[in-house]
Amino acid sequence: MKQYELTVMIHPDLEMNLQPALDKISKLIESVGGKIIKETNEGKKRMAYKIAKQEFAVYYAYDLELPSDAPEKLERSLSIADEVIRHLLVSKDERKEKMAAKRKAAGVDDEKGVSEEEEK
């Protein structure tokens, strides 16, 4: 199973009683064969722009393990859940590759953690 990071933006009206929404998300993850490794409540934050006429959302982050066919199913389920305004599911492998590419473009040596400019 591959590891993923899931960020979910939950409707702000549910802030006072988040548990049913969180239970629904957990059940969706488990229904596709996934396992929650870690979950973090990031709190209520102002969004960069309005989504569904809302300026705020409650951000919740998950570290997951999912089988290969599960990401598509999970994203489909999350996209139709009323409690979820937006979500983002990212493979941790892809994230590491993107970070390595950014460091390389910035001239940072992955092994030493210093830039080529600093070495000179």
Please report the pLDDT score of residue 115 as a whole number.
Answer: 46
Handedness of CA 67, 65, 100, 113 (dihedral sign): negative
Percent of the chain with pLDDT over 70: 88
CATH numbers and ranges of domains, the chain = 2-91 (3.30.70.60)
| pTM, two decimal places | 0.76
Query: Tens digit of pLDDT for each residue in 8-31?
Result: 999 999 999 999 999 999 999 999
Q: Which of 48, 52, 57 is nearest to 10 (CA)?
A: 57
Please report the pLDDT score of residue 105 as a whole number.
Answer: 86
The angle at the Cα of 33, spanning 74 to 95, to the nearest 5 degrees, equals 60
> Six-digit token pair at 66?
């999912």
